[in-house]
Amino acid sequence: MSEKAKNPGPISPVGSAVKARAEAKKAKATPDPVTGLTPVRKKSLWHRIPPSWRTPFAIVATIVAAAWIVIALIGPAIAPHNPLAQDMTPFQGPGAGHIFGTDELGRDVFSRVIAGARVSIGLAILLVCMSTTVGTILGTVAGFFGKWVDEVIMRFTDLVMAFPTVILAMVIAAALGPSLFNAVLAALVVSWPQYARTVRSMVLSLRGADFVSSGRLLGYGPIRSMRRDVLPNVVGPTLVLSSLDIGTSALLLSGLSFLGLGAKPPSPEWGSMISEAVKHFDKWWLGIFPGLALLTVVISFNFLGDALRDSFDPGTERE
């Protein structure tokens, strides 16, 4: 054997690192000699997140939605100006002093957009919570008891759904009078039926399940059986529908305010701000910034709803 073969020379640091990693990987994959089991590798923090939440759209939507929720919570504290103050020069274009410009009354548009987040997003979330509660209760009762109870509730649901959603909301809001409270009430009337029908269909499939029948045989009353056996199994799909409906609710409430049936001036609400901007088409900044705010809220919550739906669907959760 040659001298070179006997003494191959020093191993480079890179080669040592590669060899060390290979040996460590081999050691991890080697079964334990006592139990015969292969040790499970610990997942990193990134891989512990469900795959549906690791997509680019889900990540961006989560960041945008979280940012808007934070703005809605602390908006008045971070607004540079009073959103109702009229002490600035009207129709200033976007610049260093006012990054979104000012409106026809000299109010800072950026401050009004930030303050409007609390109104638009807060009322949208409130509307979804109320619609989910009303629809879930009625849908659960209809699906669980059936017979004439189901017929009465579902025929009333069909009656509400027979009217176009926006037109019915406009009629109710106009009859009650223009205000944010009446706009939310009108939107509630047209929003709950979809939850009722969805929950009813799930309860009908669960009503005859073995675990529900076992509970009834153990002496569970109807209320206890619905609360302990039925409702926990409809929470996931209902939560997905609710998250998808937040953007739609914000759009519906802003539409009512745009038509003069919701927020009244000088309330900083996105729909009313866009309505006021229609009178001044040449001042583009008056409508585009509240419109972009509404657009980002609707899109982000829609993407969040898609990710939430995929996370509840075992068929779409793949590594």
Q: Is residue 272 in a domain?
A: yes
Mean pLDDT of 51-69: 88
Whether 145 is covered by a domain: the verdict is yes
Give the pLDDT confidence of 121-149 residue by residue, as tens digits: 999 999 999 999 999 999 989 888 878 88
Confirm if 301 and 244 have CB atoms less than 8 A apart.
Answer: yes
Distances (CA, A) of 15 to 22, 64, 289: 11, 44, 56
Range of the domain at 94: 77-316
Token representation of residue 233: 């199994």
pLDDT tens track for 107-125: 999 999 999 999 999 999 9
**Is residue 44 included in any domain, yes or no?**
no
> What's the CATH code of the domain at 103?
1.10.3720.10
In a domain, 206, yes or no: yes
CA atoms of 143 and 206, how far apart (whole Å): 9
Is 36 inside a domain boundary? Answer: no
> How far is residue 263's CA from residue 179's CA, in Å, rounded to a whole number?
5
Is the link from the previous residue into 266 a cis peptide, with omega within 30 of 0? yes
Residue 113 domain-assigned (yes or no): yes
Count of domains observed in the chain: 1
pLDDT for res 207: 77
Tell me what the mean pLDDT of segment 138-167 comes to. 90
Kindly state whether residue 172 falls inside one of the protein's structural domains.
yes
The answer to whether position 7 is within a domain reads: no
The predicted model gives 209-221 an average pLDDT of 73
| Residues 180 and 243 sit within 8 Å (Cβ to Cβ) | no
pLDDT by residue (tens digit) across 270-308? 999 999 998 888 889 999 999 999 999 999 999 988 888
